[in-house]
Copies of this chain bind each other. A is one copy, B any other.
Amino acid sequence: MDLSKENGALAVEVLDLIFRATRYIQHEYEIKLESLSLPFQLSGPRLRLLLMVWRAEKIRMSELASKLGVKPRTVTELVDALERDGVIHRIPDPNDRRATLLHLTEEALNQINRVRSVQMQISDEILQKFSEEQRTQLHELLSAFFEGKEIDFVY
Residues of A within 8 A of B (CB): 4-5, 7-15, 17-25, 27, 69, 117, 119-121, 123-124, 126-127, 129-130, 132, 134-139, 141-147, 154-155
Contact = CB atoms under 8 A, between A and B. Distances in A.
B147 A11 contact: no
Contact of A120 (B9, B21, B121, B146): B9
Listed residue (A5, A7, A27) with the most chain B CB atoms within 10 angstroms of its CB:
A7
Contacts of A141: 130, 134, 137-138, 141
Nearest to A154: B20
- Copies of this chain per assembly: 2
Given A21-B142, A22-B19, A11 B124 contact: yes
Contacts of A11: 120, 123-124, 126-127, 135
B155 A121 contact: no
A24 B123 CA distance: 21
A18 B145 CA distance: 10
